[in-house]
Amino acid sequence: MGLHFEDLGRADALDRGGLTAILFAMTDTRTLEAGCLCGAVRYRIAGPLGKQTHCHCNLCRRASGAPVVTWVTVAPGDFTLTRGILRKYRSTPQGQRGFCAACGSQITFDALNLPDEVDVTAATLDDPEAVHPKKHIWTGSRTNWLIMNDGLPEREAY
């Protein structure tokens, strides 16, 4: 089963000078295949899964057209495009989203202040069941008609 990034508590807030790489090295390692709706973009994750989170923010909702987006964080070196390219969109001054230019599937989010991490949409994985979300974030902007009683911790912001 292995140790997961979220099991390390607030280590993500302490990430300075490569701590992320050390923490990723301590987690369960796997290889996952994935891709967009039309198949023009395919990618592989060959490494440990980090944070696994349901995001309810307005930006994720608008970018996906869904009430919540589930993300899994990986090290950039563990994320490899195997087909196609990602078109990038700067959704905020702090981050950009990668998506398929043909079908619009959102694949990644890169927080520019966290260069040792890339967030990947769990639903684009061929095996989305490999992801086990640990919390909800940005619940202060959650839609009032989505009820999720999964018992996971909730944070009004990140």
Domain boundaries, the chain: 5-141
Residue ranges of alpha helices (H) inside the chain are 19-25, 58-64
pTM: 0.79
Residue ranges of alpha helices (H) inside 57-134 are 58-64
DSSP at 144: T
State how far the Cα of 58 lies from the Cα of 97, in Å rounded to an integer: 14
Residue 48's pLDDT is what? 95
Overall CATH class of domain 5-141: mainly beta
Give residue-wise pLDDT tens across range 34-69: 999 999 999 999 999 999 999 999 999 999 999 999
- Burial class of residue 122 in the structure, from the number of CB atoms within 10 Å of its CB (0-12 exposed, 13-18 middle, 19+ buried): buried
Q: Tell me, rounded to whole angstroms, the distance of Cα 128 from its chain centroid.
A: 12
Give residue-wise pLDDT tens across range 93-149: 999 999 999 999 999 999 999 999 999 999 999 999 999 999 999 999 999 999 888
- Burial class of residue 107 in the structure, from the number of CB atoms within 10 Å of its CB (0-12 exposed, 13-18 middle, 19+ buried): buried
To the nearest 10°, report the CA torsion of 124, 130, 134, 138. Answer: 0
Cα–Cα separations (whole angstroms), residue 69 to 30, 33, 108: 22, 19, 11
Q: Return the half-sphere exposure (C-beta side, CA atoms, 13 A cut-off) of residue 56.
A: 18
CA angle 13, 89, 69 (to 5 degrees): 55
In the structure, what pLDDT confidence band is assigned to residue 1 with cuts at 50, 70 and 90? very low
Tokens, residue 103: 């079908």
